[in-house]
Amino acid sequence: MADKLCLRFAKAHWVEISDGRHFVEAPVSTRGIPHNLTPGIHACLDEYTEALETLRKHSGRTEAATVDSLLALSFSPWSQALAPVIEATADLSMRLCVRDPGLLSVQSGKAYLPDSTDEEEALVREPLFRRPCQASISDNPFATSYEHVDSFFNMANSLVLLARCAVMEATDVPGRPATVVLCERIGVWVDGGSGTVLENAVLCADALLVLSMMYPQTHGINEDIVLPCWAAAVPAVQVKVKQQKVDGEPQTGELLGGLGMKDELVEQGRNWWRAFVREGTGVWTEGPLGELLVLLDAHDGSHNVTRERCAAVRDLLERSVQAAWLVASPDGVSPPPEGHPASEASEPRRVRRPMIDPVFVGDEKRGVRQRGCLVGLKPHQLRQVCALAMGAHLPDALCQVRRNEGTQLLCSWI
């Protein structure tokens, strides 16, 4: 049945081009149930209506005067929803908390959330990450790092998937973690010279684009998020592969230094990558991010998550976020340059919540600068970059996005 469903989904999702060899993605509006179509009225939904009636029959509810629907909800082993902090006089959920007075906001300081995650099973929690808070009328519940850390964690999982692809494409890989292999492949692609055996050029460029979104180069509003080198490298690799296909050559791509990019961009990328593989202070090699990726790869998406596993992933996630200090540090020992959110911390473990949280509104008189979170980016901007990466083979493409959050309401990207 799964095979049959996949074929039907693919037929709705992709449209064959006239040459009979290529496909294009169908517009969203042409997939699934279009807006304003009603089961029982529009004939195209007859099968959906039949499925609903079959469900009612099997559940013994044929006479029930209710409205039924078939829904699908994705569920991650790391999902969480913590009750937000709220001031009791502004708590609209108080009337719903009737079974356990101990959960009232006057007792707990948090709004009542009947399906909230147990504190021990949450990955993103205090003291490093503040949950949404409305303790006074001057608080801004949107000034939280949750969305950015959500993107950060999702991109970490994406790196694991890229690493598995790299292992599948590799010609000779001993029994080592896939993420370690990917790290080595990236190092070869970035620093390799003449005579270097090239593998996984496209995956390496994509992985570095993901890393650049996990650890942004800038944090100011309306500033470019992705390091310029990687914003240009992904399209350059795609164009090279496309040209190799036209010329009938093996579609292997090219080393970073052979893509025809400006020398300053190539050097910028190499200097930035060294922060991830520095001996003793590398973020990936023997660092917290590398450990997190290995653990996520070994866990393999299982929903069998113990509290011990939660604690291990939480610890590595927090340390990986604090490792933004190492990415910005010129040598892994000196603090990041002035202007960086973590520049006042003397070492990574000194990076605390005020340095991580975004600043929703700046104050020129007090010298408070409006900025984004220390790591990650808003989910909608992550989707923008991914869409640009999908079209990186097109002329004049650039996988770049400007930070659009806080008081900047207009969306802008390159």
Choose one of 289, 305, 333: the last residue of a domain.
Answer: 333
Residue 170: its pLDDT value, please? 67
Whether 22 and 168 share a structural domain: no
Residue 320: its pLDDT value, please? 97
Whether 165 and 275 share a structural domain: yes
Whether 54 and 202 share a structural domain: no
Give the separation between CA 308 and CA 177, rounded to whole angstroms.
Answer: 21
Residue-by-residue DSSP string for 352-386: -HHHHS-BSS-BTTTTBPPB--SS---HHHHHHHH
Asked if the structure places residue 341 within a domain, the reply is no
Residue 401: its pLDDT value, please? 92
| C-alpha dihedral sign at 381, 382, 387, 389 | positive
Give the separation between CA 146 and CA 131, rounded to whole angstroms.
Answer: 7
Give the separation between CA 300 and CA 313, rounded to whole angstroms.
Answer: 13
Tell which residue, 358, 355, 301, 292, has the closest CA to residue 324: 355
Residue 7: its pLDDT value, please? 79
Strands 85-86 and 23-25: unpaired
Residue 411: its pLDDT value, please? 42
Which amino acid, 263? D
Residue 87: its pLDDT value, please? 78
Give the separation between CA 187 and CA 6, rounded to whole angstroms.
Answer: 37
Asked if the structure places residue 318 within a domain, the reply is yes
Asked if the structure places residue 277 within a domain, the reply is yes
Asked if the structure places residue 261 within a domain, the reply is yes
Cis peptide before 127 (omega within 30 of 0): yes
Contact (CB, 8 A) for 130 and 263 = no
The tens-digit pLDDT sequence of the chain (414 residues) is 677 777 777 777 788 888 888 888 877 656 655 555 666 666 767 777 788 888 888 888 888 877 777 665 566 788 888 888 887 777 777 767 766 777 777 667 788 877 788 888 889 988 999 888 877 767 777 778 999 999 999 999 999 999 998 888 766 667 788 999 999 999 999 988 666 767 788 999 999 999 999 999 999 988 999 999 999 999 999 999 999 899 998 888 889 999 999 999 999 999 999 999 999 899 999 899 999 999 999 999 898 899 999 999 999 999 999 999 999 999 999 999 998 999 999 999 999 999 999 988 777 788 788 899 999 999 989 999 998 998 898 888 899 999 988 765 444 433
Asked if the structure places residue 351 within a domain, the reply is no
Residue 200: its pLDDT value, please? 83
Strands 14-16 and 23-25: antiparallel
Tell which residue, 281, 285, 269, has the closest CA to residue 191: 269
Give the separation between CA 414 and CA 402, rounded to whole angstroms.
Answer: 8
Choose one of 34, 58, 82: the last residue of a domain.
Answer: 58
Contact (CB, 8 A) for 211 and 324 = no
Asked if the structure places residue 103 within a domain, the reply is no
Asked if the structure places residue 79 within a domain, the reply is no
Domains: count for the chain: 2
Range of the domain at 43: 2-58
Whether 183 and 308 share a structural domain: yes
Whether 153 and 299 share a structural domain: yes
Whether 54 and 152 share a structural domain: no
Choose one of 333, 367, 393: the last residue of a domain.
Answer: 333
Asked if the structure places residue 99 within a domain, the reply is no
Phi, psi of 21 (to 5 degrees): -120, -20
Give the separation between CA 26 and CA 11, rounded to whole angstroms.
Answer: 9
| Helix or strand (DSSP H, E) at 198 | none
Give the separation between CA 358 and CA 140, rounded to whole angstroms.
Answer: 11
Tell which residue, 206, 202, 228, has the closest CA to residue 414: 228
